Amino acid sequence: MEELENMRSLHQKQLEREVEGILRGEDLLRPVTMFDPELGIGSSEALMVELEYAYNIAARYKRPYSIAIFDIDGYEEYDAHYGRRAAKLAHKLTAEHIRHSCRSVDRIYRYEAGTAILLILPETDYKGGCVLAERVVAGFSGRNIPNFRSAQHGLLTLSGSVVSYEPEIPAKYARSGDMIDDALLHLHLAQGQGGNMVGKPLPA
């Protein structure tokens, strides 16, 4: 009983210190973590900053750019069958594969807390973004990583999607968040059709 009370007291003191720090504005001084140490790519926090910046630059100077988002097909089933360690290694391999498949000017980030990985492709139109995404997806299945949970492919596969900001159609995406929403929609559609493919919304 005494030990439980001590734990509660310590927890309460920790909460009080955090509240005091927020009131003093210390939370404003916390730097954005730019690097995801687990995957060796840009962090999801850095991605949010970069997405806004890329959109604003493209809109201001009327330049095209694209985003491509990828995710492992059936990751949860793979995790349940092969175990957490194998699943985490597969996730890291995915990040390395995507990083080595893109150009030096492209920027790669983890998307939020899940397994999705997002690329920002500067000066890249829709057609160019699709070519790159298809190369990434095909190259990953070509690694022939067994996945007995995939009845359709028998391999660990990726799906992806591409959306593009087109200066001649600025109203198509009023903000960077609209591009993300569209990319996620077509990623999920691709995975729902069996995966190992790129979901590509038709250009307006």
Q: How far is CA 187 from the centre of its chain?
A: 11
The span from the CA of 6 to the CA of 20, in Å, is 21
Measuring CA to CA, which residue among 69, 60, 42, 43 is closest to residue 179? 69
What is residue 142's predicted lDDT score, i.e. its pLDDT? 93
The span from the CA of 90 to the CA of 96, in Å, is 10
3-state secondary structure of 50: helix
CA triplet 138, 122, 174: central angle to 5 degrees? 105
The span from the CA of 103 to the CA of 4, in Å, is 55
Of 15-19, 40-44, 172-176, the poorest mean pLDDT is in 15-19
3-state secondary structure of 1: coil
Of 15-19, 50-54, 177-181, the poorest mean pLDDT is in 15-19
Burial state string for 72-93 with b = 16 or more CB within 10 A and e = fewer than 16:
bbbbeebbeebeeeebeebbeb
Chain segment 156-167, per-residue pLDDT in tens: 999 999 999 999
Mean pLDDT of 53-67: 94
Chain segment 170-185, per-residue pLDDT in tens: 778 989 999 999 999 9
Measuring CA to CA, which residue among 115, 68, 113 is closest to residue 95? 115
120's tokens? 């920002």
3-state secondary structure of 16: helix
Q: Would you say 18 and 27 are in contact if contact means Cβ atoms under 8 Å apart?
A: no
Identify the helix (H) or strand (E) that includes residue 21: helix 2-23
The residue assigned the tokens 């509240």 is 19
What is residue 30's predicted lDDT score, i.e. its pLDDT? 46
Chain segment 127-146, per-residue pLDDT in tens: 999 999 999 999 999 999 99
Average pLDDT score, the chain = 86
Q: Would you say 168 and 64 are in contact if contact means Cβ atoms under 8 Å apart?
A: no
The span from the CA of 34 to the CA of 164, in Å, is 24
The span from the CA of 70 to the CA of 90, in Å, is 13
The span from the CA of 130 to the CA of 115, in Å, is 21
Of 29-33, 44-48, 154-158, the poorest mean pLDDT is in 29-33
